[in-house]
Amino acid sequence: MIIAIDGPGAAGKGTLARRLAAALDLAFLDTGLLYRAVAAKVLADGHDPAVPAVAEAAARSVTFADLNRPDLRREGVGQGASQVAAIPGVRAALLDLQRRFAGQPPDGKRGAVLDGRDIGTVVCPGADVKLFVTASLDSRAARRQKELRGRGEASIYARVKQEMQERDARDSARATAPLKPAPDAVVLDTSEMDADSAFRAAMDIISARTAAPPA
Ligand code: DC
């Protein structure tokens, strides 16, 4: 069973995807971490994440072991990730890793939950269930700020909101695999939901989509 969860940043898809994977005993892959790992490599070498040749070389060298780097969640790495993610050669280099994870999930699991921006549209177009998790810009910016403060990163709300808007625009406008719901995705707006309600709503959608049709 493959569950694809896409949506913009700070809409709650990471928390939701992790909980769904645990509840359904599936493997879990946060694909944003792959793009973050590419950006972190480029930045650590003092290069510009927007330069295709450098970012593509970093993408070709990324492995799952790189996803444990402690600095990947930093805001600067997130912005860099959004830049490298717009480069088609970077996306192509990461595609195979993601598809292999979905096709042969680790630890003998019978399936996987993948979260990202293009899972339902490009990485796993045949996924059993596709969710597009979104929320208003204000609620996402408030959540991101809480998350940053929780990690001790200083943040100003107006700046967090502006950077989020820039990242949304870049992720949605890029030519290759832009952020958009797959035609067969169910849209879940979490603006007015806490994590528990989002989890319940998602489980209901999954049950409805995966229920065996009456004989
Ligand atoms: O979900 P995140 O904030 O960790 O993602 C970081 C960036 O990576 C995001 O701005 C867009 C990009 N990304 C992508 O293009 N495709 C994915 N499947 C996952 C992330």
pLDDT one-digit tens code per residue, 154-205? 889 999 999 999 989 988 998 888 999 999 999 999 999 999 999 999 999 9
Distance 66 CA to ligand 1 centre (A): 16
**Does the CB atom of residue 117 touch ligand 1 within 6 A?**
yes
Distance 174 CA to ligand 1 centre (A): 12
pLDDT-wise least confident of 52-66, 110-124, 161-175, 192-206: 161-175
pLDDT for residue 212: 72
Beta-strand runs (E) in the chain: 2-6, 27-30, 112-116, 129-134, 186-189
Identify whether the C-beta of residue 81 lies closer than 8 Å to the C-beta of residue 35. yes
Query: What is the architecture, at CATH level 2, of domain 2-203?
Result: 3-Layer(aba) Sandwich (3.40)
- Could you tell which of 5, 15, 16, 31 is best to mutate to test the pocket of ligand 1, judged by most ligand atoms within 8 Å of the CB? 31
* pTM given for the model: 0.94
Per-residue pLDDT band at 211 (split at 50, 70, 90): confident
